[in-house]
Amino acid sequence: MHNTRMEKMPKTSPEPADFAHVREWVFDLDNTLYPHHVNLFAQIDRNMTAYVQQLLQLEPDEARALQKRYYHEHGTTLQGLIVHHGIDPDGFLEQAHAIDYSSLLPDPALGDAIKALPGRKFIFTNGSVPHAQAAARALGILDHFDDVFDIVAAGYLPKPASATYDKFASLHRVDTAKAAMFEDLPRNLQVPKTLGMRTVLLVPRNLEAVLLERWERPTTEDDHIDYVTDDLAGFLAGIHAG
């Protein structure tokens, strides 16, 4: 895996002692539980652009630009549409996640690694429960999770809002000092780190060759990231090695 350019370099191989205390395992969904190169999110992205285009009667390029602006300013396109246009969030989520999951193949190694983790396991996503369940079911890992905390449970306030992490921890009575969080967006690990969680950033394989937006890349200021990996199943297996 290519090293990321950070002054405080996160570790890339898990040290089992760093996770010996962890009993709460929290996973983002998209580009975390399945690899970035699967590109499932591209379908969701197209659906969201189409929704914005139809809602506001915009040209495709205008709709995409507005969608991305809301995403950057509000954490999700949905939150921007709620704030500025008062849309029905359920209708948006249904259209956004009307996708083909056939590109997701069962991942027995990942399933075994998650199952072997001691304690509870959660999916914590800015998407919806049906989307998370469909994706995890396609991967063959759904049964290994205790629950899914989605954007509806968050009151449509997405990560990285601190109130959303507090709501998740309160609802599921998660002891954040005994928790680890796995995410693909550096900004979404800032609050977990302040809450005492062990933080692991999932990056695409061949990171330097993948086109990511600036805020999706780890930087020298991301000292809230403990570990970086491009292989979730292998990383979790490394934790068990201790």
The predicted-structure confidence for 124-153, as pLDDT tens digits, reads as follows 999 999 999 999 999 999 999 999 999 999
Same domain, 123 and 198: yes
Same domain, 28 and 77: no
User: Residue 177 and residue 154: Cα distance in Å, rounded?
Assistant: 21
Planar angle of CA 20, 2, 113, nearest 5 degrees = 35
Note whether 121 and 145 are within 8 A (CB).
yes
CATH code, 139 = 3.40.50.1000
Same domain, 52 and 169: no
Where residue 56 falls among pLDDT bands split at 50, 70, 90? very high
Same domain, 109 and 183: yes
Is residue 80 included in any domain, yes or no? yes
Same domain, 86 and 148: no
User: Residue 27 and residue 114: Cα distance in Å, rounded?
Assistant: 10
Same domain, 55 and 166: no
Same domain, 67 and 124: no
Where residue 37 falls among pLDDT bands split at 50, 70, 90? confident
Same domain, 231 and 124: yes
Same domain, 198 and 213: yes
What's the whole-number mean pLDDT along residues 25-54? 94
Closest CA to 181 of 163, 170, 197: 197
Same domain, 199 and 85: no
Is residue 11 included in any domain, yes or no? no
Is residue 197 included in any domain, yes or no? yes
- Which residues does residue 239 pair with via DSSP β-bridges, in sequence order? none
User: Residue 229 and residue 203: Cα distance in Å, rounded?
Assistant: 6
Note whether 186 and 201 are within 8 A (CB).
yes
Longest dimension (CA), the chain: 57
Name the token pair of 87.
Answer: 């849309």
Q: H-helix or E-strand containing 227?
A: strand 227-229
Our count of domains for the chain comes to 2
Range of the domain at 76: 41-96
What are the tens digits of pLDDT across the range 176-198? 999 999 999 999 999 999 999 99
What's the pLDDT at 165? Answer: 98
Same domain, 115 and 133: yes
Give the start-end residues of each E strand in 60-209. 120-124, 147-149, 179-183, 198-202
Is residue 6 included in any domain, yes or no? no
What's the pLDDT at 219? Answer: 55
Residues recorded for the chain: 242
Where a domain ends, among 77, 96, 115?
96
